[in-house]
């Protein structure tokens, strides 16, 4: 990966620092229900203060589509940010068409305070990467720090535009993310194993096509594995399966074989007649799936095969569950594989990098979210990085 600047490369003494963060947190009944994203930006804010600067936060919240939507105000994160950072927070009402008032409010705020500006997506120029909005944003600070990897796949005013007009660097969270990704696929210790699950092949075809050129072993699980099994001639009964993608699945298998990437598919399955918690189920070989059976998890022999592959690997990249992990007992395969990966990571034998919404939830469910080398909270950006795409927000920090 090309070198990018970090906080260590910027002189921030006496400067106001525009910090793009992702605090697009879940909210219920007017309260933040998961503060993980807020917690993760605190080290960057602390370092900016330590270097004599003052952080001025830029962020989006929800999808207001360029309109002012009061219930999508960033005011919602102020109390939690103050509590988690141990600092006073000044919230600035921001008219993105005329930032004169925001400038006055920023100037009046105590230097020891964190400043939070209003939702950047309240102006339609944000998602258009509009030069006029970029100029107005830039006038509110002296330097720019991007700490929002999870928004780095968007070429927006606050994620890429500002990096081209102000002295810029990656924040600590972005820095950690990029180093983790480099150790995952950029310059990994080999052998590398990728574990990809989820419901549909169609949403992860670019991902699979890229991974088979980068990794030594590829485990395919979840509903998407059914499409591969069907393509190989197995009856998958009433399981989720994209039968129209059978030829594509066979192409991936052939391409992997010619490139020396071993594909690991389920060899047995846990099936049920209905999709509900604790439904009557049985473990079967792939030749025993009845026409009204749904494959809802990998079986124990499949888990053993995954464990054996993990034991051979030095690096793991994980995206997506192996089965319907949200409902017992169809969580067993995902939990077993996650715990095996965690044990290997803890022993120092494996570097494990995971990301994507379902993945984070699955690892938390397995009780190992904090035992992987790195778990990314970025959904779309993590997936696009795994697909081998250039992320505009990262690319902007390289120039």
- Residues serving a catalytic function are 37, 200, 357, 380
Nearest to 113, CA basis, from 166, 24, 53: 53
Q: What count of residues does the chain have?
A: 399
Q: Bridge partners of 115? A: 56, 90
State residue 295 phi and psi, 5-degree precision: -80, 120
User: What CA–CA distance (Å, rounded) separates 275 from 323?
Assistant: 12
Nearest to 19, CA basis, from 32, 27, 10: 10
Radius of gyration in angstroms for the set of CA atoms belonging to the chain, rounded to a whole number? 23
Sign of CA dihedral 264, 270, 276, 278: negative
User: What CA–CA distance (Å, rounded) separates 203 from 381?
Assistant: 14
State the virtual CA torsion across 344, 346, 351, 357 in degrees, nearest 10: 100
User: What CA–CA distance (Å, rounded) separates 355 from 363?
Assistant: 10
């Amino acid at each position: 990966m090309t070198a990018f600047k970090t906080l260590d490369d910027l002189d921030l003494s006496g400067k106001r620092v525009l910090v793009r963060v992702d605090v697009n947190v879940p909210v219920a009944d007017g309260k933040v229900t998961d503060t993980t994203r807020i917690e993760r930006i605190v080290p960057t804010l602390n370092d900016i203060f330590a270097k004599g600067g003052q952080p001025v936060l830029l962020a989006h919240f929800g999808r207001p589509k360029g309109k002012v939507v009061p219930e999508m105000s960033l005011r919602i994160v102020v109390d939690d940010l103050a509590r988690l950072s141990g600092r006073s927070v000044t919230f600035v009402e921001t008219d993105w068409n005329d930032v004169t008032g925001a400038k006055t409010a920023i100037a009046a705020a105590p230097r020891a305070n964190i400043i939070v500006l209003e939702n950047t997506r309240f102006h339609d120029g944000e998602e258009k990467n509009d030069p006029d909005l970029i100029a107005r944003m830039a006038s509110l600070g002296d330097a720019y720090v991007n700490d929002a990897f999870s928004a780095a796949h968007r070429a927006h005013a606050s994620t890429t535009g500002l990096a081209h007009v102000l002295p810029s660097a990656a924040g600590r969270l972005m820095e950690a993310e990029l180093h983790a990704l480099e150790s995952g696929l950029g310059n990994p210790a080999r052998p590398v194993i990728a574990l990809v699950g989820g419901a549909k092949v169609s949403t992860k075809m670019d991902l699979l096509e890229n991974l088979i050129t980068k990794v030594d072993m590829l485990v395919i699980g979840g509903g998407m594995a059914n499409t591969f099994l069907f393509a190989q001639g197995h009856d998958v009964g009433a399981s989720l399966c994209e039968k129209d993608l059978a030829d594509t699945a066979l192409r991936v298998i052939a391409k992997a074989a010619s490139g020396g990437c071993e594909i690991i598919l389920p060899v047995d399955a846990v099936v049920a007649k209905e999709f509900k918690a604790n439904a009557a189920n049985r473990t079967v070989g792939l030749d025993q799936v009845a026409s009204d059976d749904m494959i809802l998890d990998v079986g124990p022999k499949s888990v053993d095969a995954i464990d054996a592959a993990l034991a051979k690997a030095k690096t793991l990249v994980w995206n997506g569950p192996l089965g319907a992990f949200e409902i017992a007992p169809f969580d067993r395969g995902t939990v077993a594989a996650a715990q095996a990966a965690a044990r290997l990571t803890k022993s120092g034998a494996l570097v494990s990098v995971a990301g994507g919404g379902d993945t984070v939830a699955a690892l938390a469910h397995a009780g190992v979210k904090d035992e992987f080398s790195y778990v990314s909270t970025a959904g779309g950006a993590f997936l696009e990085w795994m697909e081998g795409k250039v992320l505009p927000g990262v690319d902007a920090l390289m120039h």
